[in-house]
Structure 1
């Protein structure tokens, strides 16, 4: 017969509750930083503002995060975890270069549209963004670029690479769809035409 378990010792219960409270506090701090990055921008987000928004003290913020870079990394990971990121592996299943380009760009432009507010401020305040976050973004963009370039005729030529790099850039989407009001599909058709002409030269 198995022994019947007794009640959880008070000290163990208090320790577990304290850990849960700390995790909730950490979550509030990350949420506050994300909110401020997406509304004011990184350059205008201070630790004091994060603390006020989260309802904690500056000391509490620093107890959870050694410095602003650590907080920014946690915020970035949390935001990215909720995004539907472009999937280059799915594009690789498409043999036709032009169709792969259209599909990939629609995927990328959808991501840009959904995250437009945050990404606009991140790009504006890039000098305030930790280098590791910028490097991560550029690495993803290079992966997209290579996946779309690989099957294109003349993909090794500088003109073709420049055309695809321009097509996949957030600032290109921002100009065509944000400033000029094009739909994602219209913008994609426009830049696909540009890339195809570059590949034919």
Structure 2
């Protein structure tokens, strides 16, 4: 014979189970966040090539098995780390440059925007470029798509779309160019931008 659970007992059991499930999900969410934070920190200090799952687990205060429970492989962890880092950055805004009709002013504004982004993200970007051979292809593709959008936007309204002009603007927007001018040579952003704008304008004649 089936014995039903008293109503009073059922009314207390259901909320308790719901609370336990919610708490477990909350704990899992916090654990996942610690893992992503640890990976982001290590990528920005050691670089992707020197970041191991064991190091991520140690910094996050979890086991390797826990890391793999949340992320099936290192690529999925890298993607989560990349998305989080980008969400915390003030990214260049090509839509704003697109409203500028004058090509020289547009290039000047765009390069300043890009160079400020490079300055703010210098440590992480330096490691990412150095360790490009271990960066997942999907992350590299997303970066290249952003850079192509910058380039295409800066080339609008230019009197010439010759290959040399595109190459000059591409060179001006490159992280390595900013590293050389503002890092190694110590130029202020304004001076570096004026130098690059002058180069592009000379080639555009």
TM-score category (smaller protein): over 0.9
Structure 2 residue 205 is the aligned partner of structure 1 residue 188: no
Q: Answer yes or no: is 1:97 the counterpart of 2:103.
A: yes
- Structure number, greater radius of gyration: 2
Show structure 2 runs of 5+ residues with no match: 1-10
Which residue pairs with 1:113 in the alignment? Answer: 119
Count of residues in correspondence between the two structures: 195
In the alignment, what sits opposite 1:26? 32
| Residue of 75, 85, 91 corresponding to 1:85 | 91
Q: 1:39, 1:12 → 2: CA distance?
A: 41
CA distance in 2, matches of 1:165, 1:8: 61
Equivalent position to 1:152, from 135, 158, 165: 158
Q: What is the alpha-carbon root mean square deviation over aligned residues?
A: 1.3
* TM-score, length of structure 1 as denominator length: 0.95
Q: Deviations over 1:19-45 (max 9, x none)?
A: 000000000000000000000000000
Residue in structure 1 matched with residue 204 of structure 2 by the alignment: 199
What's the offset of the Cα at 1:7? 9.8
Determine the structure 2 residue equivalent to 1:174.
Answer: 179
Alignment of 1:114-153 (within 5 A): 114-153=120-159
For 1:79 and 1:52, the matched residues in 2 are separated by 20
Q: Does 1:48 align with 2:54?
A: yes
Unpaired stretches in structure 1, ≥5 consecutive residues = none
Instruction: Name the counterpart of 2:6.
Output: none
Instruction: Report the TM-score when normalising by structure 2.
Output: 0.93
Runs of 4+ in 1 over 6 A off after TM superposition: 5-8
